[in-house]
Structure 1
């Protein structure tokens, strides 16, 4: 990778991460000059990064107004939750049908749960969101369906941004989400797909209600 390409990748990753975290909220203006100054880069790699972000529909570029952060549309939020529901519900059923070893399940989910608990204690929302995504990704992986794993990975950035929006709401207590995950882990280890789906319904409905 050339120095120019590395600079463009750096600008892209930096700006995208700030959008996903909510540090650059939807509707706000985004200045190429500001990103250049923050990263000590020239305009060309930053402009290339902005073009990538526009292609991903995270920002809108205008010759008059420059760049504007696109808010998460309610329809997109609903679509992401719908896809998560479909993938994870199918994964739980497949785990149960394949009679995956309960210890294998517990081991796969233990680490993201421990990270979530540590993040709550530290008040680290970003670490909590990352562990949240990793927990659900682990459930999908336990299904043994590599295509489902691939599709779930494609949703990751949008899930992270959505999670930040939901979990920064004053109505959401991180402990409640964490307890949901504990119950999901228990039901999956019991190979009880129906019980898993019931908790998942409540878990996602809580998120949907805040959007």
Structure 2
């Protein structure tokens, strides 16, 4: 049976309870994807099947399966007999993501008013977490928390189709967010301040002010990235 088709491996914890490990292809997929998102594998890096198989501890068959999935998602480009090239973040991709985010998030933040107490509490919690990560220089974690902040607002709009559309931007947002924080560490304080402004506007029930801050907040990403993130 090929390695990629093998069932999950069962291991045992110190307490004796069985724990199922993910299939080999899934482990490779997560390893490479996380490496791309947190910039361990930066744009332009060439990955080989042999190196990945050794890093994850699997055969080459599940590596090929995982790389095919990642190519479909647009994170890598496969080159026969050479390996997989991590695709750089392009200016066009940034522009497309920013345009889509503006359309979704300005609409969602208006619909979030009046904001329920649970939403305001969750946003305050995420803002505090992001401040801790940013202060410690944990940019990947800060980017994840940043995205969760915006996700909560989009979900609060109550439009399941919009939420699914927004979810499709997840990996691109995380990758861009980490890249921007590394390239512009001074931008982090400004982003946190804008999150505070969004939260204050929602708490005050001011939909237009919240939408205006969202517009400035997301638009500034395009301004900073233009010509600087390739």
More helix by share: 1
C-alpha distance in 1 between matches for 2:137 and 2:185:
16
C-alpha distance in 2 between matches for 1:171 and 1:123:
9
Spell out the pairing of 1:1-211 with structure 2 (5 A cutoff): 2-3=7-8, 6-96=23-113, 99-101=114-116, 103-170=117-184, 172-211=186-225
Give SS of 1:210's match.
helix
Residue 47 of structure 1 deviates from its aligned partner by 1.0
Q: Structure 1: which 5+ residue stretches go unaligned?
A: none
Q: Structure 2: which 5+ residue stretches go unaligned?
A: 1-5, 10-21, 226-230
Distance change (3 Å), C-alpha of 1:100 and 1:196: closer
Distance change (3 Å), C-alpha of 1:88 and 1:170: closer
Residue 62 of structure 1 deviates from its aligned partner by 1.3
Query: How many residue pairs were aligned?
Result: 208
Residue 200 of structure 1 deviates from its aligned partner by 1.7
Distance change (3 Å), C-alpha of 1:100 and 1:210: closer
C-alpha distance in 2 between matches for 1:65 and 1:104:
51
Give SS of 1:22's match.
coil
C-alpha distance in 1 between matches for 2:155 and 2:200:
17
Instruction: Report the TM-score when normalising by structure 2.
Output: 0.84
Give SS of 2:61's match.
helix
Q: Are the equivalent residues in 2 in contact too, given 1:29–1:67 (CA < 8 A)? A: yes
Residue 105 of structure 1 deviates from its aligned partner by 3.2
Q: Are the equivalent residues in 2 in contact too, given 1:115–1:127 (CA < 8 A)? A: no
C-alpha distance in 1 between matches for 2:129 and 2:71:
33
Residue 171 of structure 1 deviates from its aligned partner by 5.9
Q: Are the equivalent residues in 1 in contact too, given 2:191–2:217 (CA < 8 A)? A: yes
C-alpha distance in 2 between matches for 1:154 and 1:205:
19
C-alpha distance in 1 between matches for 2:131 and 2:178:
17
Distance change (3 Å), C-alpha of 1:162 and 1:154: same
Residue 146 of structure 1 deviates from its aligned partner by 1.9
